[in-house]
Chain A
Amino acid sequence: MIKILIVDDSVFSQKIIANILRKQVEQSDIYFAADGWNGLEKYKELKPDYVFVDLLMPGLDGQSLIKLIKEVDSSANIVVVTADVQNHVREEIEKLHIMTFINKPFTEEKAQIICDIMKEKDNGKQ
C-alpha cells in the first residue's frame, strides 16, 4: 500500500486530487489535512510515502510546512500542488528539494506525470 497525505485547506481540491490519484495509483491509502500544522502532525504520525502540499493555507503555510517536514525527514517525497503561477515562487519552492511543482487544477495528465516519477522512485513498489 502506498500512503499518500494531501494537505490542502480546500475540501474541493482535496477530493479532486484524491479521486484522480485513486484512479492512477492502484493500491493507495489517502489521508487528509486541512492546514500546515495538522499536515505536520499527520506526517509524523503516518510517515506517508508521498505528501501533496498546497502553498496558501491558514496557520502554517505550505512553504513552512515543507521546511519542517524536511527537518523531520530530508528524503520526504513532496509534491506541491498550488494555484500560484509566479515563476519566483516556483524557483523558491524548488530549492527545498521537492519532488515536483504542479499548478492547479490537478488533472489526470498532471497525475500521470507524477505517477511516472513515483514509479521510478519506488522501483516497482506499486
Chain B
Amino acid sequence: MYPRKFEYIAPNRVEDVLRLLRKYRDEAKILAGGHSLLPMMKLRIIGPNVLIDLKNLRDKLAYIRDSGRVVRLGALTTHAEIEQSNTLRRDIPLLPEVASLIGDMQVRNLGTVGGSLAHCDPAGDWAVAMLALDSSVAIQGERRRVIPISRFLKGPFTTALRPTELLTEITIPKPPKGHGWSWKKFERKAGDFATVNVAAVVIPDRRGTVKKASIAVGAVSPVAYRASAAEIMLRGKRPDSELLRRAAEAAAEPASPISDLRGSAEYKKWLTTVMVKRALEEALNRAGISVEVSKHA
C-alpha cells in the first residue's frame, strides 16, 4: 500500500519547522516516529500534501531530563528510551511500564511520546498515564506556551495544538517517594490497542491512609479522562474492598464506550470497573496501604 503523493522536507531547525507550518498549515503533517501517521497514510485515511520530517531534530527534541522535582521528556523521545530509562524507573516507574506494553519492540524503537500525544488516539496509552501524573506540555508556535495535559487533550485525534504549533516537551512532576502506582492495560492480544487502559497513582500519608489518589481512564470515551469522583471518595481513607468497588463504579461512570471488534459497549463499561479496581488494589499495595476485605464485598 502506498500513501497518496506528498512532498517531503526534513528541516534541521525547529524554527524552520514552525515557518513551514505557518506556510502550509493544514496541508502539512509532522512526521515523528511515524507509527500512527504512516499506517493512516497507507490506508489513505489521511493524505497530507506536505510531510515535515523531524528526524534531524532528535538532538534537540529527544531527551529524558531530570530537573529535580520534575522530569522533562523531549517530544521525540521514543517509547523504547522511556522503557529503558533508569531515571524514570527510579522516580516515575509508571512511565517505563506504560512504554514497555506499547505495540512491540519494533514499534517502540521508532514511536515517540510526543507523536503519540499529538496524534491523540482515544485508545492511546500516553494520554492516560500523563493525565494520572498531572503532566503538562510545552507547545512552540510563534510564542511558547505550557498547558496542563488535561487542557491539551480535546477529543478523538484532536488536541489544543494549532496548525502552526509543535509539541516540544512534556513535563512530569515526580510523585513523592513511596507512592504507589499501577498500569492496567487490557488488550485482546499482545501489541493491540487497549480495550481499556487505567493508570492509578496513590500517595499515602504517614498514618497509612490515602493522601491523594489519581485515576485516569482511556479507550472507553472520546478522550482519556480523570475519574475525579472516585479520587474524592478515596481521599483521607484507608479503603476496604467495598469502598474500592464503589470507587471503581464511580470511575467507570463517565465512560461512554462504543461497541466494536474489541467488545460491546456494555462489556467495556463493566471491564472498566474491573480494571480500575485492579489498578487501585495494586497501587494501594505498592503504597503500603493494605485493603481490608469488607463483609459486603
A binds B: no
Give chain A's interface residues, CB within 8 Å of chain B.
Answer: none
B interface residues (Cβ-Cβ under 8 A, vs A): none
